[in-house]
Amino acid sequence: MGIQERIKDIELELSRTQKNKATTTHIGMLKGQLARLRTQLMMPAPGSEGGGGGGGFAVAKSGDGRVALIGFPSVGKSSLLNAVTDTNSETAAYEFTTLTCIPGNIVINDTKIQMLDLPGIIEGASSGKGRGREVIAVAPPADLVM
Q: Is the pLDDT of residue 54 over 70?
A: no
As to burial, measured by CB atoms within 10 angstroms (0-12 exposed, 13-18 middle, 19+ buried), residue 92 is exposed
* Spatial contact of 68 and 138, defined as CB atoms under 8 Å apart: yes
List helix spans (H) across the chain: 3-16, 24-42, 77-84, 132-136
What whole-number distance in Å separates Cα of residue 101 and Cα of residue 56? 8
Q: Which of 21-25, 69-73, 118-122 holds the top average pLDDT?
A: 21-25
What whole-number distance in Å separates Cα of residue 12 and Cα of residue 144? 48
Rg from Cα positions in the chain: 22
Residue 54, CA atoms < 13 Å, CB-side half-sphere = 7
CA 9 to chain centre: 30
What whole-number distance in Å separates Cα of residue 81 and Cα of residue 3? 42
Q: Is the pLDDT of residue 16 over 90?
A: yes
Express each pLDDT in 57-70 by its tens digit.
Answer: 677 788 888 888 88
User: How high does pLDDT run on average in the chain?
Assistant: 80
As to burial, measured by CB atoms within 10 angstroms (0-12 exposed, 13-18 middle, 19+ buried), residue 130 is buried
* Spatial contact of 38 and 7, defined as CB atoms under 8 Å apart: yes
Q: What is the pLDDT of residue 26?
A: 94
pTM of the model: 0.56
Express each pLDDT in 84-98 by its tens digit.
Answer: 888 877 777 666 777
**Amino acid residing at 70:** I
What whole-number distance in Å separates Cα of residue 117 and Cα of residue 103? 6
